[in-house]
């Protein structure tokens, strides 16, 4: 959500930003907000002037009564009562207009960074850099669930009976590998100075509205029936929500946090053949990284965050690349975002395993996350998030890139302490 003052003073910049995001249907909202803002300020000015007038006149009543001028005092009382009636009419109008403005402002997209490439959808995303040499071995790479099945490591049929499509049982060494990757990712981020956190896995609706746009919310979130609670789609939601309505000491910034959580997603829409198995599912676990910082530091932290993910995947001998998300592929709250994609030897292409986002002050504005500087000035923090690792999707990349010709799976050295010292998996 952008600053109403910025929109008021720069309506054409806001409209051009909407065009860059290919959301022309939202263009009339800018003029609507400007008109409502003008009406709001007029209403507030009238109410404030009436309150001041009522207070000034009311002070006369006591003096008139002392002077025995009861009739004049009664007239003043009537005048004050009339003013108060008018104020009572204006106050709900003020609140109604403010709510209309907020509702519209929640829909107008955030101003994107000038470096973001312009494009309508993810087909226009731009490759930034590759890390590691993508290899296609001279033996066939089975589908990831077939690899898991050879180790008796997955049961989709039973999960379908118990929970439906989009769920799974992981077993044995594959389940252990899943947990090992998460534990390694946790320690990897702790070693980089991040504080480990296990957050709530359910959050209130006002927090959901504070951390994501309405289309994202509708496509992702599961609501708990009969309660003001939603299951989180990523720990970013409750991690940023932790700072709701807070005033933070500038000297303590940045907050650098890494969090574990299960994640629950509706995953609305149809998906292709490559998204069967455990690629796109309703429940998974993830290690996340969150930063809350001063505005001038957010670009630096953005670059550090996505590099953390690249370094982790490279430590597991998985080639990756980064893609700059184009304007049309950015969620409305995001200023800038890039995807980290891992190499799939079976598909002979890269696929998404994580996403890094700079949201500027959008989440902070919605949730009231403020900072008090050394000079006493108050301002909104910037928030960022990035995926460290999200198995079981990450397991697809791991298994394909570490599969050997004899069907065994090599365990990279950094992961062996989390796998009981095993150097390989054998069926």
Round to whole Å and give the CA distance between 219 and 201. 18
Residues paired with residue 262 on neighbouring β-strands, in sequence order: 285
Average pLDDT over residues 204-216: 89
Domains and CATH numbers, the chain: 4-105 (1.10.287.40), 122-425 (3.30.930.10)
Average pLDDT over residues 104-125: 96
Round to whole Å and give the CA distance between 148 and 155. 9
pLDDT (tens digit, 9 = 90+) per residue, 180-201?
999 999 999 999 999 999 999 9
Average pLDDT over residues 356-381: 97
Q: What is the biggest distance separating any 2 CA atoms in the chain, rounded to whole angstroms? A: 108
- Report pTM: 0.89
pLDDT(305) > 50? yes
pLDDT (tens digit, 9 = 90+) per residue, 55-90?
787 777 667 676 777 777 777 778 888 888 888 888
Round to whole Å and give the CA distance between 305 and 318. 18
Provide the pLDDT for residue 268.
Answer: 62
Provide the pLDDT for residue 78.
Answer: 82
Provide the pLDDT for residue 269.
Answer: 53
Provide the pLDDT for residue 59.
Answer: 72
Other beta carbons within 10 angstroms of residue 272's beta carbon come to: 8
305 burial type by CB count under 10 A (0-12 exposed, 13-18 middle, 19+ buried): buried
pLDDT (tens digit, 9 = 90+) per residue, 337-364?
999 999 999 999 999 999 999 999 999 9
pLDDT(275) > 70? no
DSSP structure class, residue 403: B
Which residues, 6+ apart, have CB-to-CB distance to 21 below 8 Å?
A: 109, 112, 327, 328, 330, 332
Average pLDDT over residues 37-48: 90
Helix axes 11-20, 27-66, angle to 10 degrees: 140
Q: Which of 120, 104, 99, 100 is nearest to 2 (CA)?
A: 104
Provide the pLDDT for residue 280.
Answer: 85
Q: What are phi and psi of 25, to 5 degrees?
A: -65, -15
Question: How would residue 243 be classed by pLDDT, with cut points 50, 70 and 90?
Answer: very high
214-235 burial: b if 16+ Cβ within 10 Å, else e: eeebeebbbeeeeeebbbbbbb
pLDDT above 70 coverage of the chain, percent: 97
The lowest-confidence range among 116-130, 178-192, 215-229 is 215-229
Provide the pLDDT for residue 154.
Answer: 96
């Amino acid at each position: 959500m952008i600053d109403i003052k910025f929109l008021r003073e720069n309506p054409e910049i806001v409209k051009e930003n909407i065009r860059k995001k290919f959301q022309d249907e939202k263009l009339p909202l800018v003029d609507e907000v400007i008109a409502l803002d003008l009406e709001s300020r007029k209403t507030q000015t009238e109410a404030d002037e009436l309150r001041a007038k009522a207070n000034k006149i009311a002070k006369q009543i006591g003096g008139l009564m002392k002077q025995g001028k009861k009739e004049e005092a009664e007239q003043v009382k009537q005048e004050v009562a009339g003013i108060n009636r008018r104020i009572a009419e204006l106050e709900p109008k003020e609140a109604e207009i403010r709510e209309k403005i907020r509702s519209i402002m929640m829909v107008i997209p955030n101003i994107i960074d000038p470096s973001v490439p312009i494009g309508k959808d993810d087909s226009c995303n731009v490759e930034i850099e590759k890390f590691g040499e993508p290899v296609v071995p001279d033996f066939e790479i089975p589908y990831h669930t077939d690899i898991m099945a050879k180790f008796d490591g997955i049961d989709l049929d039973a999960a379908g009976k118990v929970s439906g499509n989009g769920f799974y049982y992981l077993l044995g060494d594959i389940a252990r590998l899943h947990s090992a990757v998460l534990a390694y990712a946790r320690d990897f981020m702790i070693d980089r100075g991040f504080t480990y956190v296990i957050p709530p896995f359910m959050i209130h609706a006002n927090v959901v509205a504070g951390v994501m746009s309405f289309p994202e919310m509708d496509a992702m979130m599961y609501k708990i029936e009969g309660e003001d609670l939603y299951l989180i789609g990523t720990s970013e939601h409750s991690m940023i929500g932790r700072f709701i309505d807070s005033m933070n000491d500038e000297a303590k910034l940045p907050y650098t946090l890494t969090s574990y959580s299960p994640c629950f997603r509706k995953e609305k829409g149809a998906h292709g053949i490559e998204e069967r198995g455990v690629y796109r599912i309703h429940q998974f676990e993830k290690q996340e990284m969150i930063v809350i910082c001063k505005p001038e530091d957010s670009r630096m932290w953005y670059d550090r965050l996505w590099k953390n993910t690249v370094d982790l995947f490279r430590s597991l001998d998985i080639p990756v690349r980064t893609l700059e998300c184009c304007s049309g592929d950015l969620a409305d709250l995001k200023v800038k975002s890039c995807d980290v994609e891992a190499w799939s030897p079976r598909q002979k292409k890269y696929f998404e395993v994580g996403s890094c986002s700079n949201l500027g002050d959008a989440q902070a504005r919605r949730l009231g996350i403020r900072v008090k500087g050394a000079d006493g000035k108050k301002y909104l923090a910037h928030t960022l998030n990035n995926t460290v690792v999200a198995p079981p999707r990450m397991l697809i990349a791991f298994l394909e890139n570490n599969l050997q010709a004899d069907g065994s799976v090599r365990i990279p050295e950094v992961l062996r302490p989390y796998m009981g010292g095993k150097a390989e998996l054998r069926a």
